[in-house]
Each structure stands twice: as C-alpha cells, then as structure tokens.
C-alpha cells in the first residue's frame, strides 16, 4: 500500500491511498493559511449620533487576515473600541491584490508600513464623515 499526498491550491489537501489497483480518496482537510495584510473601505455608524456629530463615516482599514470574514471581524473590533459599528465593507482584499491593480495613496502606504511590523494591528485612515442619513 502506497500513500500519495497531492496539494491543490494553497489551502486544500487531498490524501490518496493506492490499495492494489484501487485509488481511495481521503478527506479534504484545510491547511493553515498564513495571514496577510488586507484592506477594505468600511462604512461606520456611531452608537450615539449626537455625541459623534455625524451620521456616519467611511474609512480605509488595513489589518492582518486570512479571509474576508476575518477582515470583517477585525473591522468590528476596532469599530467597537470607537463606539461605532460597521454598516458595510467594500472592496476588501489582500493588499497584494490591490497593489497589482492600482497605486495606493501616501496615507494607505503609511497605514501598510505601520501594520507590517505588528501582527495585531488594525489601522484605520481618515474618517470621511457624512452629516445625515439618506431617507
């Protein structure tokens, strides 16, 4: 009996066993994925609009994550510390993907530099506020 392990993509592992002339496919298991820097545009709303002085804001967030869901969790974490909550996230993706498509601004470059050396970093940029909610 011979065991053969094939890797597909960067996350999945397929275990195959050769038994005589039969091939037995084993369970698919997830391989640990390495976190990488992600970026996304996050819309935030205040828990107390009068105290905050605006209906909401948009900001870029840079943090370490493996998936969009993990990025969302980190955005929720930083929002909570600021007495805000996340309404939506747009264009969340690994920084490596973003920088293949566009040249990022100086502010985002600075955010990336600050996050690179800190695996716990959740860095937010300028808050672009809006004064009222649309009907």
| pLDDT tens by residue, 90-131 | 999 999 999 999 999 999 999 999 999 999 999 999 999 998
Domain-embedded: residue 89: yes
Q: Which of 99, 100, 124 is nearest to 111 (CA)?
A: 124
DSSP-derived secondary structure letter, 1: -
CB of 74 closer than 8 Å to CB of 63: yes
Q: Are 93 and 40 in contact (CB under 8 A)?
A: yes
Verify that 40 and 104 share a domain, yes or no.
yes
Give domain status of residue 41, yes or no: yes
Whole-number average pLDDT of the chain: 84
DSSP state at residue 82: T
Q: What percent of the chain has pLDDT over 90?
A: 67
Task: Kindly state whether residues 57 and 102 are assigned to the same domain.
Answer: yes
Question: What's the pLDDT band for 17 if we cut at 50, 70, 90?
Answer: low
Asked if residue 16 has pLDDT above 80, the reply is no
Q: Which domain holds residue 65?
A: 36-130
Q: Are residues 46 and 75 in the same domain?
A: yes
Claim to verify: residue 73 and residue 124 sit in the same structural domain: yes
The terminus-to-terminus CA distance of the chain in angstroms comes to 68
Instruction: State the pTM of this model.
Output: 0.74
b (16+ CB within 10 A) / e for 63-97: bbbeeeebbbebbeebbeeeebebeebeebebbee
Q: Is 25 in the same domain as 59?
A: no
Do residue 104 and residue 58 come from a single domain? yes
Same domain flag for 102 and 66: yes
One domain, residues 20 and 54: no
Distance CA 56, CA 40 (A): 16
């Amino acid at each position: 009996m011979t065991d053969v392990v094939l890797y597909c993509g960067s996350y999945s592992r397929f275990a195959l066993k050769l038994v005589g002339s039969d091939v037995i496919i084993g369970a698919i298991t997830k391989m640990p994925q390495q976190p990488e820097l992600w970026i996304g545009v996050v819309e935030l709303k205040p828990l107390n609009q009068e105290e905050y002085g605006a209906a909401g804001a948009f900001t870029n967030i840079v943090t370490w994550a493996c998936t969009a869901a993990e990025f969302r969790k980190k955005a929720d974490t930083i929002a909570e510390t600021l007495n805000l909550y996340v309404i939506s996230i747009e264009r969340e993706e690994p920084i490596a993907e973003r920088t293949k498509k566009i040249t990022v601004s100086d502010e985002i470059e600075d955010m990336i530099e600050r996050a690179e050396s800190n695996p716990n970093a959740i860095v937010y940029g300028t808050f672009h506020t809006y004064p009222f909610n649309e009907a």
